[in-house]
Structure 1
Amino acid sequence: MEQFEGKNILNFIKELPNDATCKEYLAKYKWQDGFVCPKCCGNRGCMKKDYKYHCYTCHHVESATANTLFHKVKFGLQKAFCVVFEMTTSSKSLSSTQLAERYGVSQTSMWFFMQKVRKAMESSKKYPLSDLVHVDEFTVGGKEDGKQGRSYDSKKKKAVIAVELTNKHQVKRVYIKSIDDYFSKSLTPIFEEHISTSAKIFTDKWRGYEPLKATYDITQIESSNGKNFKKLHIIIHQIKSWLRTIPTHVSKEHIQKYFDEFCYCINRSQSKQTIWHNSIIRMIDNEPMTWKQIKQNVT
């Protein structure tokens, strides 16, 4: 079975019409580099007809979904593949309520699985922003007042955003991180995790960025109500619109997962043909997660 590419859902269903073909697809890419038994580390075995691998050394039998984020999926592998397809190819965020109704499953089971997909969408932190970077903070939630600047409304969720631009000031990559406040200590992690010390960084004149100048090349300029950071504020507007499409409340404990989903999709907007397949590979490469781990936001 060849790697699926594209955004056409009819072609997707045609190539993966049932649970068996989805299991075959999963098995192919799970063991594409060869089988290694998780029990005895042996590499001799064979694929059984139900796409389980049988180890010749210790006779352990492993399913295609075992040790992946598809482990114990509650509603069938084809539906799970379709949910990943919709989350990665849609231009808007999707709620668990919407998808639960669409696929005829419980909202709780859908929310649990979608959080697993968002786990796979976390940044690897291997490719820091290294060119022209604009950084600012923003808030989501609560009553939108339309005002520029920092909000200290306790009902709003605070975040800091870093946008890398090309020489023509087109958006190249985006990262967003949830923060508790606007102090330098809270602003530092997005720099350490996502911005290279070689980057040319522009921020507004907020004093929280001052201590970071010792490590990073930061130039502080007037925001002029966002006019000097036009592309950055377009992205902020997009993330707020993205979150508004979710008809249920997003808690502060889980807001980072939704930021990760948004960044994952926007950073791959030029590679939508392969985004679904790459997401499946990430689901395979991640360890299974329990309900308790996701509810407690364990990473």
Structure 2
Amino acid sequence: MSRYQKMSLISFQKQFSTEEACHDYLFSLKWSNGFCCEKCGHDAYFETKTRKHKLYECKKCRYQATVTVGTVMEKTRTDLIKWFLAIYMIAHDKRGVSATRLSVELEVTYKTAWLMLHKIRQAMRKRDANYTLAGIVELDDAFFGAPSEGGKRGRGTDKTKVLVGLSL
């Protein structure tokens, strides 16, 4: 399991300031040793520029792939810069990010922001399902909302309890 490394907004902007930089990063993640056809394993390819992204076609079997295939960004028409920034915003805000805020910040429609948000959350959920808590586990609870009329606050309240677990 890799350790999470927090990245500042400034360093994020420096590293992913262009569409090309985002593309190159995805390429290095997908094909760390250079292009390799997922179908036949051949390493020679043709490179074609599509509307938004580069398309890689195997010279041997003609299988076509892009860097976004198999990711939340597959078949998207939204710029990679906007996807990367959305992922950054969602991963760095512990309170959560709304689709409305994403829509405003990324200058996309609400419908696009909502879809991006749900795809990213689903990917995060799938990734988190691979890990189980181990070692020292700490728990804390909290109650959200105002107490009901004449009700009790804190422990003993009729509010729903929220538990948070952390594995160190």
State the TM-score, normalized to the length of structure 1. 0.43
**Which runs of no fewer than 5 residues in structure 1 stay unpaired?**
165-171, 174-299
1:65 Cα deviation (Å)?
A: 0.9
What is the CA–CA distance in structure 1 between the aligned matches of 2:16 and 2:139, rounded to whole Å? 42
- Give 1:162 shift: 5.2
| Unmatched runs of 5 consecutive residues or more in structure 2 | 148-152
Distance in 2, matches of 1:139 and 1:95, equals 22
Residues 92 and 46 from structure 1, CA distance in 2 versus in 1: closer, same or farther, beyond 3 angstroms? Answer: farther
Which residue of structure 2 lines up, in the alignment, with residue 42 of structure 1?
40
Q: 2 CA distance for matches of 1:163 and 1:16? A: 33
> Contact 1:45–1:53 (CA<8 Å) still a contact in 2?
no
* Post-superposition offset of 1:76: 0.9
Preserved CA contact (<8 Å) 1:133 1:163 = yes
Matched, 1:121 2:124: yes
Q: Match for residue 22 of structure 2?
A: 22
Would you say the 8 A contact 2:86–2:102 is kept in 1?
A: yes
Give TM-score scaled by structure 2 length: 0.71
Task: Look up the SS of the partner of 1:117 in the other structure.
Answer: helix
Higher relative contact order (CA 8 A, sep 6+): 1
Partner of 2:32: 32
Q: Supply the AA of the counterpart residue of 2:36.
A: F
Q: CA deviation at 1:127?
A: 3.0
1:135 Cα deviation from its structure 2 partner: 7.3
Q: CA deviation at 1:97?
A: 0.5
With over 3 angstroms needed to count, the CA separation of the structure-2 counterparts of 1:128 and 1:98, relative to structure 1, is: same
Shift of 1:107: 1.2
Contact 1:23/1:77 (<8 A) preserved: yes
Structure 2 residue aligned with 1:98: 101
1:27-73 alpha-carbon deviations (Å, 9 max, x no partner): 11112266342xxx211033526543322332021111122111123
Structure with the largest fraction of helix: 1
Aligned-residue RMSD, C-alpha: 2.9
Fraction of identical pairs, as percent? 19
The alignment of Structure 1 onto Structure 2 pairs a total of residues equal to 151
Question: Once the 2 structures are TM-superposed, how far is the Cα of residue 25 of structure 1 from its aligned partner?
Answer: 1.2
- 2:37 and 2:63 in contact (8 A); partners too: no
